[in-house]
Structure 1
Amino acid sequence: MSRHEKYKLLEGLATTEAAPKPSLTLSDAVALIVGIVIGAGIFETPALVATQAGSSQAVLLFWFIGGVVSLVGALCYAELATTYPDVGGVYYYLKRAFGREIAFLFAWARMSVVQTGSIALLAFVFGDYASQIWRLGNFSPSIYAAIAIAFLTALNIVGLQQGKWTQNLLTAAKVLGLLLVVLIGLTATPNLPTPVESTSTGTWGLAMVFVLLSYGGWNEAAYISAEIQNRQRNIVRSLLWSIGTITVIYLLINLAYLRGLGLTNMANSQAVAADLMRNVWGEPGALFISLLIAVSTLGALNATVFTGARTNYALGQDFAIFGFMGHWRQRPSTPSYALVLQAAIALALVLLGTFTRKGFETMVDYTAPIFWFFFLLSGASLLVLRNREPQINRPFRVPFYPLTPLLFCSVCGYLLYSSLVYTGVGAVVGVLVVAAGIPLLLWNRYRQVPRG
């Protein structure tokens, strides 16, 4: 038997050992999506958006438009996910539309840059706010970040049930805490100095960059499409419910910020939620919001760990060089090896962020351009597959085709441009890491060539 034939036999055995099971309910899927999207962004970006806005009405309009844009993208993903349910998510769509090479580079980018960078980014935010409650020395944020990654990875390796119930509880705590902040901001009358009746003028385009950063993450629904019960209905419903819930929460929290601080104080704030709570409840209020942000970020981190390993599993199924990741443990139902490798890369990025002393900013620069480039390709894959495979049954069809996916691609293209313009050295490093996947792709192709 040739080396190529042995590889194909081993590949076939790997794919029949075990497979993902439809274990997630609609509420589980909604909790995952909401948990990913509502992370640290809503506590960081509202002040930046207010800086670019000229009025309170413009602030709320920006956040409403962000929800609409996310809904447009979700409709595109809903058709892809219901037509091609696969644990690989976007990896699988790109493979069908553009071939194995592009899919490989996407999975490599997601494994080495996008998902692991997002995990490290969220872990740094968790570490920053956990350190406000209890410091662990000079490198307290990094220590907390490493502990969070290791703990949540271990929890997800133990099994799907433990991982999803943890996510449901964290998401519930996060949403309840945010609603409490909304209630306080809308009803309290804080004693604030009269602000100067002006804010710095900016651009709508830059404001939308910050808004859409905060809405990012709903696309992770693609990676659980093979594990959702009654997927033909629940994939669409989970996306619509999630984005609707997130949009309402974002509008309410910004309304609370505006009501409690005013536009100018909001725009000048370095920590808008903490300033709001401090002015109402004093230092106990600031401590409360630090705890809330820590819980919120921990929920997003757990969901990102959960979904990230799914693409690594799909990559291992298709490419011998990463074949060790293509194994799914039947009991418990998890891609354990993929989770371990993901954690190792994320911990290395935490170490990188520690050395640069700008963990959060370094990870934003590192991930943004690559994320929006492949997001653009995922929207284009819908157009390609509609044209190439018209005979396939599509349980859900995106309305107003092809205008909806074209609009989505246009937004992604603009965000790609903006992320390249407004990021620094980290973006260059991210691009170089993705480019490093090309030699690996060629090596994998060489290994699969029959030798006689």
Structure 2
Amino acid sequence: MSDQPKSFKRSFGLLDATMIVAGSMIGSGIFLVSADITRNVGSAGWLILIWVITAVLTITAAVSYGELSAMFPHAGGQYVYLKEAFNDLTGFLFGWSFFTVIQAGTIAAVGVAFARFTAFRFPLLSETNVLADLGFVKITAAQLTSILLIVFLTFVNTRGVREGKLIQTIFTLTKIVALLALIVFGCFAASRQVWDANWQSGFGFNKLEPTQLVSYSGFAVLGAIAASMVGGLFSSDSWNNVTFIAGEIKNPERNIGRSLFFGTLLVTTIYIATNLIYLAVLPLHEIAFAENDRVGVAAAVRIFGNNGTMIIAVLLMVSTFGCVNGLILSGARVCFTMAKDGLFFKQMGLLNKNAVPGKALWSQCIWASLLCLSGRYGQLLDYVIFVVLIFYILTIAGIFRLRRTRPEIERPYKAFGYPFIPMLYIIAATIICLSLLVYKWENTWPGLLIVLLGIPAYYFFGKGKVEINKALLN
């Protein structure tokens, strides 16, 4: 044990950190969720408005996190902020939800998305190819491919941060360039007739069904907006992953805040531009009812012809590969920090000889792989968006609390537009949460249950382990 490093190496510069933000955000969502959004809102105007609102909320949260990251430039990010602003239990509940569903579930979902699009090029890897039927679970080629991807990238990241950050930078830059190319070529393929027809709906707000528009009544509008926001928010989520590796970023007091702003601004701008291209090449009805919601594939066929399917499949393979790497690289740092605080399994708080949390990385790998086999990861992601927003609200509320309770802490960077901009996010996110709670109760109570299960887990694994560790030290 004596040759093991005791602390992280600061290896990530501003570009590397920005690539973590952008790479963790861009997965498969931008190519899929616009279909569901369009069905919920029924107009071109509201489709773009949903993405604009998502962009504003995301950037607002990101620049608010800048103050917290400058105050506490330590590994663990959001877990540390919640613990410092409130208490150990609040931090643990986030870490518990993060490990059990948010991060591992996202890794599993994006991993299977990688396999699905790889199957365009290699059909043997599709979900229809059942390799084994164990009765209680069927193992498909797509699931096995996703597990192998997760294991491979976990192995790479246990070798040290140099390999992980190299993959992240290369693949993120590649998919950003590819998305920009899709936008540029989309401009050349744009149809004025399609564009004008789509915008005849203006900013009307209706439910779009296969044969008709159905008007919403009363407060059902709020429910529809909240449901529409889920896809956009998930596609723009994971921007906070860079805060988890704060202990490995050079000049973290400055670079984390900058990377959050540059990364979220870049990605959300690309997302809005991509949706404008969808409206320029596809009729609104084809966006809403694209086969298996693959709007990106339908648009690529219009832009690139018969080769469009293969082009978008390769783009999605690159996109999801880089996204999984960013999630794996950053996620294990939360478990590491919790373990160092005595709130998680002690072995997960150790660094390997390459100065990375190897055991935390492999634990994350095993759990994410099991979620791949469960077949319920997509459902879990739907459940947890409500919980994710709650923790974002609490974290930004922590800025107000820390300003009052710990004014002496140095703040190299302060939240932009404080107190108005952070409060704007809290109000908007709260409205979305309440709307989801009322109109999508079936998709919110499981997320709440997962968080509440963290309370007994805290006292059994967390507080109990603290006492055990104290006894061992004495």
User: Normalised by the shorter chain, which TM-score bucket?
Assistant: 0.7 to 0.9
Consecutive unaligned residues in structure 1, runs of 5 or more:
1-9
Residue identity over aligned pairs, in percent, reads 31
Is it true that 1:342 corresponds to 2:359 in the alignment? no
CA distance in 2, matches of 1:191, 1:402: 44
Asked if 2 retains the 8 angstrom alpha-carbon contact of 1:40 and 1:297, the reply is yes
- Equivalent of 1:399 in 411, 416, 441: 416
Q: 1:321 to 1:393 in 2, by over 3 A?
A: closer
Aligned equivalent of 2:80: 92
Question: 3-state DSSP class of the match of 2:119?
Answer: helix
Asked if 2 retains the 8 angstrom alpha-carbon contact of 1:122 and 1:300, the reply is yes
Consecutive unaligned residues in structure 2, runs of 5 or more:
131-139, 202-207, 217-223
CA distance in 2, matches of 1:239, 1:191: 36
- Equivalent of 1:306 in 308, 317, 329: 329
CA displacement at 1:55 relative to structure 2:
4.2
CA distance in 2, matches of 1:84, 1:374: 17
Is it true that 1:153 corresponds to 2:154 in the alignment? yes
Deviation by residue 1:228-281 (Cα, 9 ceiling, x = unmatched): 212232222212211221122112211111111133332332311111122343
Is it true that 1:413 corresponds to 2:423 in the alignment? no
Is it true that 1:59 corresponds to 2:47 in the alignment? yes
Asked if 1 retains the 8 angstrom alpha-carbon contact of 2:102 and 2:381, the reply is no
CA distance in 1, matches of 2:240, 2:444: 22
Asked if 2 retains the 8 angstrom alpha-carbon contact of 1:112 and 1:434, the reply is no
- Deviates further, 107-116 or 157-166: 107-116
Q: 1:189 to 1:384 in 2, by over 3 A?
A: closer
CA displacement at 1:421 relative to structure 2:
5.1
- Scaled by the length of structure 2, the TM-score of the pair is 0.84
Asked if 2 retains the 8 angstrom alpha-carbon contact of 1:37 and 1:216, the reply is yes
Aligned equivalent of 2:106: 118
Aligned equivalent of 1:3: none
Aligned equivalent of 2:309: 286
Residues 197-276 of structure 1: pairs in structure 2 closer than 5 A = 200=213, 203-269=224-290, 270-276=293-299
Quick one: which amino acid aligns to residue 295 of structure 1? V
Question: 3-state DSSP class of the match of 2:32?
Answer: helix
Q: 1:328 to 1:265 in 2, by over 3 A?
A: same
Question: 3-state DSSP class of the match of 2:410?
Answer: coil
- Equivalent of 1:106 in 94, 107, 114: 94
Asked if 2 retains the 8 angstrom alpha-carbon contact of 1:118 and 1:363, the reply is no
Is it true that 1:23 corresponds to 2:35 in the alignment? no
Asked if 1 retains the 8 angstrom alpha-carbon contact of 2:194 and 2:282, the reply is no
CA distance in 1, matches of 2:269, 2:451: 36
CA distance in 2, matches of 1:372, 1:19: 31
Deviation by residue 1:272-303 (Cα, 9 ceiling, x = unmatched): 11111223434321111112112111111110
Aligned equivalent of 1:333: 355
CA displacement at 1:428 relative to structure 2:
4.7
Q: 1:68 to 1:365 in 2, by over 3 A?
A: closer
Asked if 2 retains the 8 angstrom alpha-carbon contact of 1:53 and 1:207, the reply is yes
- Equivalent of 2:22 in 25, 30, 34: 34
Number of equivalent positions: 434
CA distance in 1, matches of 2:97, 2:343: 17
CA displacement at 1:36 relative to structure 2:
0.8
Asked if 2 retains the 8 angstrom alpha-carbon contact of 1:82 and 1:231, the reply is yes
CA distance in 1, matches of 2:263, 2:344: 37
Aligned equivalent of 2:455: 438
Asked if 2 retains the 8 angstrom alpha-carbon contact of 1:120 and 1:363, the reply is no
Q: 1:426 to 1:208 in 2, by over 3 A?
A: closer
Asked if 2 retains the 8 angstrom alpha-carbon contact of 1:186 and 1:255, the reply is no
Q: 1:162 to 1:408 in 2, by over 3 A?
A: same
Aligned equivalent of 2:137: none
CA distance in 1, matches of 2:448, 2:350: 29
Q: 1:60 to 1:79 in 2, by over 3 A?
A: same
Asked if 1 retains the 8 angstrom alpha-carbon contact of 2:118 and 2:317, the reply is yes
Asked if 1 retains the 8 angstrom alpha-carbon contact of 2:85 and 2:401, the reply is yes
Asked if 2 retains the 8 angstrom alpha-carbon contact of 1:209 and 1:418, the reply is no
